[in-house]
């Protein structure tokens, strides 16, 4: 961060304070989730990548198989939590106001209210932003970055921190590929330059294409997190 | 901003310091641009809204009629400046690293290098981000928010600061409308709830639809900024 009139040392110290406090609270969240066998994903992306639609479809398809709760982050409105609750899944909306990301403290407070069941799934939909949420651990098992194929192949190179911080990339809106000049292989190559271990699934939350592979990815990892009740 | 472990008062003071310094430098930029009759637009949007493609088309169509320079902001890469320079227009790439927006200091330094001609157009393409760039005046005449129709109608309500800070909204990628469930009227209504004076143009940088109206918008305002040489 470059801030005119504030010394670089002062800025670095403030950033370290902020991230250090956040990391401590994220560790607390992670321990708390592990004790109950709750498997948590932190969904990150640009605005408009289709995270909420993807989540609504996921909940609809998985809610009979697992207890699920959702934390929704947005600058303003409760639109997304309303859409989630319409599926019958409990959701808490966090409004960040001027803020560009959720932090571990917000998630900790939301967990107090949600009280997720043992061996359940927790989806955290972050504020739509390819920069800020990368630096903030919330205590999740994995960050999942959702990239819409309408956004262009070069996004992983232009916003590398987010793709480096994520374990899975969902290339969403694949149903639109016939109408776009989007090179899937080039996008995956760009993402792997930033993060060679990044897993990739091509999906369409609208048509359902590829969603079963995403569910299998989730369920294999959630099984490992499970605890005896 | 909510930061665990830092008092709200301290955070507010730091934010005020940052924005106060930025506003002072933005005023300097604005005066400097006005003295030379340079008309500057600050293009803001989510990642992948098509800002660079829109800009490349705009430069191609306007470069014979006006001297033009460009400042490109991205976390990483010089991809966008390379695309701009391929049109023959001079461009400077600013990499913000961890930062989620350009600031007035970065733009001031870029102006030192670019030295825009009298009575020219200056396009500043900000970092793709619907949150952070809203608060940072760069000295531009207008913020222009580009929203892709692939992003959903509700974005102005979920990211209100950006739409409140902008004078024009370009609804881009209109060529994809036949393939989407996007309600143009609902999107415009959402944007006008946040900013009743917001002007709106529907465009496609790919097909060229609506671009002439954008050029007319630019040229009418640039004419008012012109100075005797």
Q: Which of A10-14, A31-35, B97-101, B213-217 has the lowest mean pLDDT?
A: A10-14
Distance CA(B30)–CA(B12), nearest Å, equals 26
Distance CA(A218)–CA(A111), nearest Å, equals 20
Structure token digits, residue B29: 């930029």
Distance CA(A4)–CA(B22), nearest Å, equals 7
Distance CA(B78)–CA(A166), nearest Å, equals 23
Structure token digits, residue A66: 């697992």
User: Can you give the pLDDT at residue A24?
Assistant: 97
The 10 Å Cβ neighbour count of residue A207 is: 13
Residues 120-139 of B with CB under 8 A from A: 127-132, 135
The model's pTM is 0.93
Angle (nearest 5°) at CA B125 between B121 and B128: 165
Distance CA(B134)–CA(B137), nearest Å, equals 8
Distance CA(B138)–CA(B108), nearest Å, equals 8
Residues 154-213 of B with CB under 8 A from A: 154-155, 157-161, 173, 176, 179-180
Asked if B79 has any chain A CB less than 8 Å from its own CB, the reply is yes
Distance from the Cα of B154 to chain A's closest Cα (Å) equals 8
ipTM: 0.89
Q: Is residue B23's pLDDT more than 80?
A: yes
CA B40 to mean position of chain CA atoms: 9
Number of H helices, E strands in chain A: 8, 7
Residues of B in contact with A148 (CB under 8 A): 48, 150
User: Can you give the pLDDT at residue A1?
Assistant: 47
Q: Is residue B229's pLDDT more than 90?
A: no
Residues in chain B: 229
Q: What is the pLDDT of residues B163-195, one digit of tens each?
A: 999 999 999 999 999 999 999 999 999 999 999
The 10 Å Cβ neighbour count of residue B69 is: 24
The answer to whether the Cβ–Cβ distance between A176 and B173 falls below 8 Å is no
Residues of chain A with pLDDT under 70: 1-6
Q: Which residue has the tokens 């899944």?
A: A89
Contact B28, B77 (CB under 8 A): no
Q: H/E/C letters for each residue in B32-78?
A: HHHHCCCEEEEEEECCCCCHHHHHHHHHHHHCCCCCEEEEEEECCCC
The answer to whether the Cβ–Cβ distance between A48 and B100 falls below 8 Å is no
Asked if A17 has any chain B CB less than 8 Å from its own CB, the reply is yes
User: Can you give the pLDDT at residue B10?
Assistant: 79
CB contact burial A109-145 (16+ within 10 A = b; e otherwise): ebbeebebbebbbbbbbbbbbbbbbbbbbbbbbbbbb
Return the percentage of chain B with pLDDT > 70, whole number. Answer: 97
Q: What is the pLDDT of residues B103-135, one digit of tens each?
A: 999 999 999 999 999 999 999 999 999 999 999
Residue of chain A minimizing CA distance to B98: A1
| CA B187, B189, B195, B199 torsion-angle sign | positive
Band of residue B5 on the pLDDT scale cut at 50, 70, 90: low
A121, β-bridge pairs? A39, A68
């Amino acid at each position: 961060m470059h801030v005119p009139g504030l010394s670089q040392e002062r800025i670095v110290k403030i950033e370290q304070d902020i991230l250090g406090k956040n990391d401590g609270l994220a560790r607390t969240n992670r321990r708390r989730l592990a004790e109950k066998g709750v498997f948590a994903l932190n969904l990150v992306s640009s605005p408009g990548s289709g995270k909420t639609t993807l989540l609504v479809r996921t909940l609809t398809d998985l809610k009979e198989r697992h207890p699920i709760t959702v934390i929704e982050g947005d600058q303003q409105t409760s639109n997304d939590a309303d859409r989630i609750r319409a599926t019958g899944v409990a959701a808490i909306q966090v409004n960040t106001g001027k803020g560009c990301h959720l932090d571990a403290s917000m998630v900790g407070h939301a967990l107090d209210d949600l009280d997720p069941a043992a061996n359940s799934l927790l989806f955290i939909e972050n504020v739509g932003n390819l920069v800020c949420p990368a630096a903030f651990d919330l205590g999740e098992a994995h960050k999942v970055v959702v990239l819409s194929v309408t956004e262009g192949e070069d996004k992983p190179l232009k916003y590398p921190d987010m793709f480096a911080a994520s374990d899975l990339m969902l290339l969403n809106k694949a149903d639109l590929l016939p109408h776009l000049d989007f090179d899937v292989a080039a996008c995956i190559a760009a993402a792997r330059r930033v993060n060679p271990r990044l897993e990739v699934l091509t999906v369409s939350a609208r048509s359902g294409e590829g969603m079963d592979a995403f569910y299998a990815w989730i369920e294999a990892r959630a099984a490992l997190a499970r605890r005896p009740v």
